Structure 1
């Protein structure tokens, strides 16, 4: 069973909270689910504690991947379920290397076949934007450095695409998988057939048949395109009627931090999602 959790809002849709509760709910049923986060990122300024928790241990991952790994069955590392993690830094009034407004990509961590690999923004490094803690704790001497979009695109083809393909194979090979998308991207990984989809936004979750959702995603992109990941949730769901719409009540920080409490609070939504697969 392969389940996708996507967000109806670009920021703070509640995807991770919903996903860790779903993992807990599935484990109650005797299953051994694994959560996946194909792409993620955090900000040196806004996510400073999360950044240091990982970097001080010589690693680079975010709280979403950490929570999904902890809620999964078995011994799961964040880097294994999250093959691409990006570290950002605010740069007010300045566009970054990739055209981002007001923030700059500093370094990416990829999960390669032999372990973590790093890609560094050479311009940000030259300007002194890389935190000293990152250069001291991460093995960046051997990192690939990019200073232009064409160079970055070449590295994407050589390293990022194979990492995504390896993850897709692992998701497919996992008996029960929960895949969390990023931002409001409709599908975060290619070549995976999802059985059911939950689109989460503040106050509700809408449940869709996986095949119909993926078909609508193809239509939104103008047809199937290898490696294209940037169709948005709103463009997909406007072509579909949800099989179920379930209210999600607001949860306090203590409840959000406990997958079992989330599983209790959102039990109706999880039942509707699993029922879509069983039907």
Structure 2
């Protein structure tokens, strides 16, 4: 089994998870390890990240900007759809009146961020099976700024599931999220020595199928805290409530339960040395030859 490194965020946004993942990838490659990167779930805004949206349209693939950046650091053996099995696209409303939001739960995050597409991918008999949730009614009625044509380009080759509400999305996620993410993770892990798992926002633990990790790093601007992985996992599940997915438990809810093992201070654009890997508890002094 590959060595698993989980990176979580202190903040809901802009913690620096991807930057740390890229630094880890580059240092591990220099040491001589085969590396894979896994981003189980993600999303981006059609308008606010339009340069990335254009890249997705050109490739005909709805994927994470972070996953695309991280994978450029090495020559991945896996397809990006399995490296990033679940990804959502949000788009602003075509307003009729200022700030007048849709009366639809797909617009729960506000008028500028309506869920219009969500891709689910998993390995299937040597290929990839992809399902796309699509807010077809909103697209047909031109209630959002993304066009039907662009939505079609991002959904090519996928099985389509029409969704009209957030409840429809949650029902599909409840039945299929873990299956897609866990199968994709196992597929990647089989062909590498180290797998870096980048969590979603400030989620304490990314998915149920991840039963253990070897190293757990929680990052914020300028800081990386290390934790005992098993104690941290148990803390996350202790704070889970009802039938909510484990990824709904945030770092803020577990931080007072657990004491970090260590604090490592980092600076912008500073490379990680092999000594830093040791300090972060990723490998011992002799690295790959241990």
**d(CA) in 2 for partners of 1:38, 1:120:** 20
1:170 match:
187
Gaps of 5+ in 1: 252-260
Q: Report the counterpart of residue 144 of structure 1 in structure 2.
A: 161
Shift of 1:242: 1.2
Is contact 1:42-1:86 (8 Å) kept? yes
Deviations 1:28-85 (A, max 9, x none): 2221121100001111111101111121221111221112222345433321210001
2:105 counterpart of 1:97: yes
Hey, what does 1:133 align to over in structure 2?
A: 150
Question: Whole-Å Cα distance in 2 between the matches of residues 275 and 138 of structure 1?
Answer: 38
Q: CA RMSD in A?
A: 2.7
The answer on whether the counterparts of 2:236 and 2:246 sit within 8 Å (CA) in structure 1 is no
Say which of 209, 214, 229 aligns to 2:233.
Answer: 214
Offset at 1:134? 2.9
| Alignment of 1:191 onto 2:209 | yes
Q: Distance in 1 between matches of 2:89 and 2:15?
A: 21
Indicate conservation of the 8 Å contact 2:11/2:201, yes or no: yes
Matches within 5 A, 1:46-65: 46-65=48-67
1:66 aligns to what? Answer: 68
With 66-75 and 174-183 compared, the bigger mean Cα shift is at 66-75
Secondary structure of 2:239's counterpart equals helix
Q: Which moved more, 1:125-134 or 1:53-62?
A: 125-134
Deviation string 1:131-182 (CA, Å, 9 cap, x unpaired) is: 3333345328851111134432332244333212313433654542110011
Query: Secondary structure of 1:147's partner?
Result: coil
1:107 aligned residue: 117
Quote the offset at 1:9 in angstroms.
1.0
| 2:87 paired residue number | 85
TM-score (norm. length: structure 1):
0.84
What is the distance in 1 between the residues matched to 2:131 and 2:218? 32
1:43 correspondence with 2:60 = no
Give 1:234's match in structure 2, choosing from 252, 260, 264: 252
Q: Tell whether the 8 Å contact from 1:186 to 1:236 is kept in structure 2 after alignment.
A: yes
Q: Distance in 2 between matches of 1:212 and 1:31?
A: 27
Output the CA distance in 2 between the equivalents of 1:269 and 1:240. Answer: 23
Within the candidate set 261, 265, 275, 1:243 is matched to 261
Corresponding residue of 1:274: 281
Paired position in structure 1 for 2:133: 119
In the alignment, what sits opposite 2:96? none
Asked whether the 8 Å contact 1:36–1:68 carries over to 2, the reply is: no
Alignment of 1:151-166 (within 5 A): 151-166=168-183
Indicate the structure with greater helix content: 1
Name stretches of at least 5 consecutive residues in structure 2 with no aligned partner. 94-98, 286-290
Say if 1:200 and 1:206, in contact at 8 Å, map to a contact too: yes
Aligned residue pairs, count = 267
Cα gap change, 1:134/1:56 in structure 2, threshold over 3 Å: closer, same or farther? farther
Provide closer, same or farther for how the CA distance between residues 165 and 227 of structure 1 changes in structure 2, counting only shifts above 3 A.
farther
SS of 2:236's partner is helix
